[in-house]
Amino acid sequence: MTACSLSDDIAVPCIERRQVSLDGVDLPADLPEVLRRVYAARGLREARELERSLSALIPPGRMTGADRAAARIADVMEAGGRLLVVGDFDADGATSCALSLLAVRAMGHADIDYLVPNRFEYGYGLTPEIVALARERAPDLLITVDNGISSLEGVDAANAAGIPVIVTDHHLPGERLPEAAVIVNPNAPGNDFPSGAIAGVGVIFYVLLALRAELHRRDWFARRGIEPPNMAQFLDLVALGTVADVVPLDHNNRILVHQGLARIRAGDCRPGILALLEAAGRDHRRVRAADMGFAVGPRLNAAGRLDDMSRGIACLLADSLEAARPLAQELDRLNRERRQIEQGMQRQAEAMLAEWRPEGELDWGLCLFREDWHQGVIGILASRIKERCHRPVIAFAAADEEWLKGSARSIPGLHIRDALDAVAARHPGLLEKFGGHAMAAGLSLRREHFAAFARAFDAVVREMLAPEDLQPLIPSDGEVAPEALNLEMARQIAAGGPWGQAFPEPLFDGCFEILSSRIVGEQHWKLVLRPEGGDQALDGIAFRAVERHPELPPRVRLAYRLDINEWRGRESLQLLIEHLEPA
């Protein structure tokens, strides 16, 4: 079927096997055939692309502008001046802020502080209002992290106040760039850094690497009798911000995340990260990239969504587990509150979809708005409805009596920022401001323009997509032979990551006989399965599948992941079922 309708607003996915050719693939010969196939399907061709040591990172010198930014920061440090970091209210921004303060202080300069906008009062980025707040702290240099590339007015206001600005960002720039003293952004014109996928925390990490080298050249550390910090100690923050911001895990990002996760597993990380994992019920010794994305990141983000991201940054800056725990517990409470708000908004959105069109067809580009929706949760709502209907979605909330704030999420095949750019070009004045990535964006528009914008957005989406793009597909890595369905294969896959955005955890498909089934937790199917052509019995669980499948046939085709289930110190193989259908 082609996604949503009045009778069924849930897009039903189809399993589609990835087309993989091993021709020209020169991966290690001792890799299991399953992993060779998985890596090839993700575009890997050479053994060096599996390298995860720090020596394989893109050299800091490739990040255009990092050396100039480092020199400006070092000048302020040598003069005993004040640095002020302006962050963003998400996990990428929070980790970027914490990383900046911790690293600069470790380099021997204490006069550095941060300022993060409250999304409900000031909105996103370095605005003139934020500059006015910054002036009260009398900084000698402003450094933006994870924002700033679209802050034309804010940078102008800082320049007018005599405060130079260094912009470090990774978001896509508009037609004009801010008049900053230095811009460090791998996606800005003229930057030759090979990885445009790097997160904001990765950009400032590279700037700090350059700063450490610059201070070395100036004999800063020797003159003060201090040891230069080992920058690898901050990779836990880089890993968290990178995964939580859902940037593509290209080779460079995989190295950053792998190294950061290794430090977290060893307990060699920020107490705040340990406390957040503890609040989420996760064992840091077994942590995976998914835990950063689905356990730590949401709790950190909850501060920025519902309250003030300063709480999240304070948790990351805490010097001990005892100091971090109360902050992590408060973030956990905010996250539970966020879930309740989100669930209510999702029910309201689904009711809107059910009443959408008399002819039963949803717009291809969905715009949803309710007066009482929470501004800090619309991004998650847009993601949930996108997953349900498999089409680009923009959810709006009221900013005030005049303005609406929107959060957009897209599907494969449509670059959401390009779509917004097309709307703005065709309808000048309709869209006030926007920015973002290929898959996510934020925007503002006047209330009276909502209906016209919704029509314009739908028209652009219909031009950019084909009907088949609205059919959700489950990309499978194919079948696994029955003899390879074992705990050792699950361990090899778990160790073969980190897995994440644009480098997805392997998903397989195959036919199975259901030997037994029972409902657990009212929503989930717990199964014992026999693979077709095999004789072993395997455990499987399908979360939230009972509503869709109240009864199960004797044979099913599954899309599943190989998962390691630990119970009372014993590990066993479990199939984590993402999709099932009659065989």
> Do 94 and 115 share a structural domain?
yes
Report DSSP state, residue 368. Answer: E
> Do 362 and 326 share a structural domain?
no
The answer to whether residue 23 is domain-embedded is: no
Sheet holding 165-168, edge to edge: 112-115, 83-86, 141-145, 165-168, 182-184
Please indicate whether residue 553 or residue 118 has the higher confidence score (pLDDT). 553
**What's the rounded mean pLDDT across residues 192-203?**
96
169 by DSSP, 3-state: which?
coil
Predicted confidence (pLDDT) per residue in 353-388, tens digit: 888 754 558 899 999 999 999 998 999 999 999 999
Positive or negative: CA dihedral 281, 103, 185, 263 = negative
Measured between alpha carbons, how far is 443 from 435 in angstroms, rounded to an integer?
A: 7
The answer to whether residue 339 is domain-embedded is: no
Pairing of strands 433-436, 440-446: antiparallel
| Domain end residue (candidates: 445, 470, 495) | 470
Predicted confidence (pLDDT) per residue in 100-147, tens digit: 999 999 999 999 999 998 766 666 789 999 999 999 999 999 999 999
Q: Indicate the average pLDDT of the chain.
A: 93
User: Is the pLDDT at 2 greater than 70, yes or no?
Assistant: no
| Domain end residue (candidates: 470, 505, 534) | 470
- Phi and psi for 44 in degrees, rounded to 5? -80, 135
Stated as kind and residue range, the H or E segment containing 273 is: helix 271-279
> Do 253 and 118 share a structural domain?
yes
Task: Give me the torsion for CA of 483, 486, 490, 495, rounded to 10°.
Answer: -80
Q: How many domains does the chain have?
A: 3
Predicted confidence (pLDDT) per residue in 378-418, tens digit: 999 999 999 999 999 999 999 989 999 999 999 999 999 99
* Structural contact between residues 218 and 79, judged by C-beta atoms closer than 8 angstroms: no
Measured between alpha carbons, how far is 177 from 198 in angstroms, rounded to an integer?
A: 19
Measured between alpha carbons, how far is 377 from 405 in angstroms, rounded to an integer?
A: 11
> Do 282 and 231 share a structural domain?
yes
**What's the rounded mean pLDDT across residues 75-83?**
98
The residues that bridge with 528 in the sheet, in sequence order, are 516, 539
Looking at residue 6, what is its pLDDT? 33
**What's the rounded mean pLDDT across residues 76-98?**
96
CATH number (domain holding residue 430): 3.10.310.30
The answer to whether residue 103 is domain-embedded is: yes
CATH number (domain holding residue 520): 2.40.50.460
**What's the rounded mean pLDDT across residues 55-71?**
97
Looking at residue 9, what is its pLDDT? 53
> Do 146 and 94 share a structural domain?
yes
> Do 315 and 205 share a structural domain?
yes
CATH number (domain holding residue 229): 3.90.1640.30
Q: Give the list of residues 6+ apart from residue 463 with CB closer than 8 angstroms, or none.
A: none
> Do 456 and 320 share a structural domain?
no
Measured between alpha carbons, how far is 144 from 167 in angstroms, rounded to an integer?
A: 5
Measured between alpha carbons, how far is 281 from 261 in angstroms, rounded to an integer?
A: 17
Segments forming the whole domain that contains residue 193: 61-332
Predicted confidence (pLDDT) per residue in 425-482, tens digit: 999 999 988 887 788 899 999 999 999 999 999 999 999 999 999 999 999 999 999 9
**What's the rounded mean pLDDT across residues 270-274?**
98
User: Is the pLDDT at 3 greater than 70, yes or no?
Assistant: no
Measured between alpha carbons, how far is 264 from 282 in angstroms, rounded to an integer?
A: 12
**What's the rounded mean pLDDT across residues 172-181?**
93
Looking at residue 119, what is its pLDDT? 67
Cis peptide preceding 248, ω within 30 of 0: no
What pTM was computed for the model?
Answer: 0.91
The CA angle 478-481-483, to the nearest 5 degrees, is 155
The answer to whether residue 4 is domain-embedded is: no
Q: Give the list of residues 6+ apart from residue 390 with CB closer than 8 angstroms, or none.
A: 3, 4, 11, 13, 411, 470, 471, 472
The answer to whether residue 1 is domain-embedded is: no
> Do 572 and 517 share a structural domain?
yes
**What's the rounded mean pLDDT across residues 271-275?**
98
| Domain end residue (candidates: 454, 470, 486) | 470
73 by DSSP, 3-state: which?
helix
Q: Give the list of residues 6+ apart from residue 222 with CB closer than 8 angstroms, or none.
A: none
Measured between alpha carbons, how far is 134 from 114 in angstroms, rounded to an integer?
A: 9
The answer to whether residue 143 is domain-embedded is: yes
* Structural contact between residues 340 and 305, judged by C-beta atoms closer than 8 angstroms: no
> Do 223 and 102 share a structural domain?
yes
The residues that bridge with 320 in the sheet, in sequence order, are none
> Do 520 and 376 share a structural domain?
no
> Do 573 and 514 share a structural domain?
yes
The answer to whether residue 36 is domain-embedded is: no
138 by DSSP, 3-state: which?
coil
- HSE on the CB side for 475, CA within 13 Å? 12
> Do 556 and 459 share a structural domain?
no
The answer to whether residue 163 is domain-embedded is: yes
